[in-house]
Each structure stands twice: as structure tokens, then as C-alpha cells.
């Protein structure tokens, strides 16, 4: 099945679920929000350095809760710190990193609150981890695509030309969500992920990481919604591998 047919099938599944099960999905969403424990972010500032030497490679991460350290016990286990370690190993140079991500942020909040801070950082690479809150918040797809283009332009205007977008996680594997809500949000997340790839396609120096596999029980944090330390480690490897392959292909 080609990409267009897959996207159409996901869209049909999403709208059918919304039309047939809308009140049930709304009730399940309220129930899941009440029942799911709230995890605290790390108490330390979301910045650090991996590797040693001079001429740091500057990494900035924008986005939502996984990039803000939600779901892990220490800052070193967070997705941005793990990715900095992976990049430092691959490129044999130190990586200084900062995460501007905020728990609960959607793409509009990233544009309004996080991007304005970019210029002072002068990053070599911006990694964007977004989409779950736009999925649950039912951001219209047309608005999502428009905001993605606005985000790419704003990051470029802040001085960074290289952008890596993480794939949206497989929300149908978030076991904190009951069925059929889990499946419906999984379809919606995959639609937003397809839109992300369409917007970023053929834009120089804008990279979309490969789709993520479903999360296992060990890859879910205690709330069964956010990625665990093990998931952040695996995710960082996937992102760094994708970035490295893209760099080699472009030579």
C-alpha cells in the first residue's frame, strides 16, 4: 500500500471513530486524564555537556514533555542528554545541549515561547519533539501544517539551518489510554506524522527521523504514557543514527 492510500485509510478510521464513538472517546479521555499520575520534571536546568575538548557542537531541543525530561528520574536519562552523548560519540567532539521543551506544549506554544529564545543559543542543530499534545488537543491538520512551515521558517530566521524532526510516537501503544481511545489517537498521531513528512519533504537541511515502533512495557514510564529512561536511550540512538546517515548521504 502506498503512502497516499495509508494516509487515506488512517483518515477514514479517525473520522469514523469520531463520528461513531465521539461521546465515548471524550469520556475515556477525561477518565484517562483523571487516572494517569502526574510525573514531575527534573529539578535541574535542562542543559548540559557531553564529551570533552574544544569547539562544542551546539544542540538545542524544542518541544513537549519527552524533551523536557518527563518520565525519567535524572537529567542524564532524558532524551536531550542521551542524544548529546550519542552525537559526541559519533562525531568525536563535545556537544553542549539545552532543552527549551515544556511539558504540555503544543506547536503554537513552541512558536510563541521557545523559538524566540533560539537566537541567543546559536545552535548547530535544532531537534524538534512535537505532536502528542497537538494530537490530544485535536489541532486541525491544516493548522498543524501551516504551523510546521512557520516553525521551520522561524528556526531558520533564528540562525539555525539544520533541523531534525523526531517522529511522533505510536500513541496506540500508550497503555494509560483505554481502547478504543488509544487506537483512535494512534490514527490521529500517524496522520500528523504524515503531514510533518509532507511539509518537510525536499526542504534542504530539514530531516524527519524514521517512524518509531510501538513502545513496549519497559519503554513506558510509571504513568504508562511517557517514555521511560530505556525508551529515551533507544530514541536517542534512533535519532542520532538517522542524522548520521543523512549526513553521510549528503556528502
Q: Which residues contact 173 (CB under 8 A, 6 or more apart)?
A: 182, 186, 214, 215, 216, 220
With beta carbons less than 8 A apart as the criterion, state whether 199 and 247 touch.
no
With beta carbons less than 8 A apart as the criterion, state whether 85 and 50 touch.
yes
Average pLDDT over residues 90-95: 91
Q: What is the pLDDT of residues 145-191, one digit of tens each?
A: 999 999 999 999 988 778 999 999 999 999 999 999 999 999 999 99
pTM flag (> 0.85): yes
Q: Which domains are present in the chain?
A: 3-37+48-249 (3.40.50.1110)
Quickly state the pLDDT bin for 2 (edges 50, 70, 90): low
Out of 32-36, 67-71, 207-211, 245-249, least confident range: 245-249
- Residue 102 has a pLDDT of 95
- Rounded to an integer, what distance in angstroms lies between the CA atom of residue 187 and that of residue 14? 6
The side-by-side arrangement of strands in the sheet containing 47-50 is 47-50, 95-99, 57-63, 125-129, 163-165, 206-208
Q: What is the pLDDT of residues 123-152, one digit of tens each?
A: 999 999 999 999 999 999 999 999 999 999
- Residue 38 has a pLDDT of 87
- Residue 251 has a pLDDT of 44
Q: Which helix (H) or strand (E) holds 178?
A: none
Amino acid at each position: 500500500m502506498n503512502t497516499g492510500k495509508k494516509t487515506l485509510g488512517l483518515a477514514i478510521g479517525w473520522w469514523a471513530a469520531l463520528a461513531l464513538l465521539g461521546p465515548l472517546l471524550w469520556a475515556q479521555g477525561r477518565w484517562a486524564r483523571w487516572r494517569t499520575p502526574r510525573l514531575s520534571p527534573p529539578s535541574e536546568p535542562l542543559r548540559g555537556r557531553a564529551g570533552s575538548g574544544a569547539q562544542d557542537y551546539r544542540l538545542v531541543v524544542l518541544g513537549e514533555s519527552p524533551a523536557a525530561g518527563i518520565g525519567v528520574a535524572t537529567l542524564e536519562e532524558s532524551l536531550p542528554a542521551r542524544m548529546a552523548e550519542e552525537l559526541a560519540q559519533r562525531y568525536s567532539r563535545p556537544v553542549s545541549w539545552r532543552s527549551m521543551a515544556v511539558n504540555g506544549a503544543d506547536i503554537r506554544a513552541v512558536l510563541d515561547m521557545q523559538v524566540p529564545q533560539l537566537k541567543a543559543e546559536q545552535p548547530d542543530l535544532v531537534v524538534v519533539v512535537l505532536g502528542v499534545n497537538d494530537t490530544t488537543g485535536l489541532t486541525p491538520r491544516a493548522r498543524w501544517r501551516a504551523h510546521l512551515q512557520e516553525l521551520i521558517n522561524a528556526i531558520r530566521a533564528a540562525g539555525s539551518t539544520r533541523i531534525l524532526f523526531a517522529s511522533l510516537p505510536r500513541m496506540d501503544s500508550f497503555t494509560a489510554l483505554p481502547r478504543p481511545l488509544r487506537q483512535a489517537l494512534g490514527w490521529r498521531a500517524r496522520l500528523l506524522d504524515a503531514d510533518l513528512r509532507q511539509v518537510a519533504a525536499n526542504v534542504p537541511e530539514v530531516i524527519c527521523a524514521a517512524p518509531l515502533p510501538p513502545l513496549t512495557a519497559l519503554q513506558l514510564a510509571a504513568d504508562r504514557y511517557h517514555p521511560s529512561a530505556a525508551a529515551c536511550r533507544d530514541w536517542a540512538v534512533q535519532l542520532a543514527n538517522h542524522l548520521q546517515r543523512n549526513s553521510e548521504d549528503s556528502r
